[in-house]
Amino acid sequence: MRWSEAERECAIMGGHLASIIDEYENVFAFTWSGCLKHCLLRRAMQQNDGPKFSDVAKQANLSTPTLWLGRLVKLTRTGAYEWNDGSVGRHLDGFRGEPPSGTDLCLTMWLDFDRPEGSWNEWDCNYATGYSALCKRSLKRGALSVTTGNVFGFA
């Protein structure tokens, strides 16, 4: 799924691809996403009469340890940045010491252990990946439920 397709799926649920404004949100998003994938895998393994493990893993895109996040649209000299959903943050440590190359960047979060936990990566917005989408929406609209497939959300 391309970044725009992932964003569209999040918009259908009343949100946007996740914006990360501080270290707390980054840790939460990383931990929650990894836990969700683990829980889905465990449930699939326990269901002897249900779908095959490989079918559930494929449907939930559990083999791809990367999630689409929101898009950085503006960076300031003071280190603040703005996401496509309008939120502003200062947590550029998601890049793990490598500053972003510019603005209007589609971002992914790595969930595997080859890279530092919860690190971000710039990615081509138009590249059709097998990545899942991490959605976020305001609590004012109610909690965002987790859906099947490869679009996950939090409020």
Query: Is-above-0.85 flag for pTM?
Result: no
Which helix (H) or strand (E) element contains residue 74?
A: strand 66-75
- Rounded Cα distance between 128 and 4, Å, is 10
pLDDT digits (tens, 9 = 90+) for 85-142: 999 887 666 666 566 666 678 988 877 656 666 788 888 889 887 788 888 887 765 5
CA 90 to chain centre: 18
Domains of the chain: 3-154 (3.10.100.10)
Please report the pLDDT score of residue 8 as a whole number.
Answer: 93
- What are the tokens at 118? 């919860």
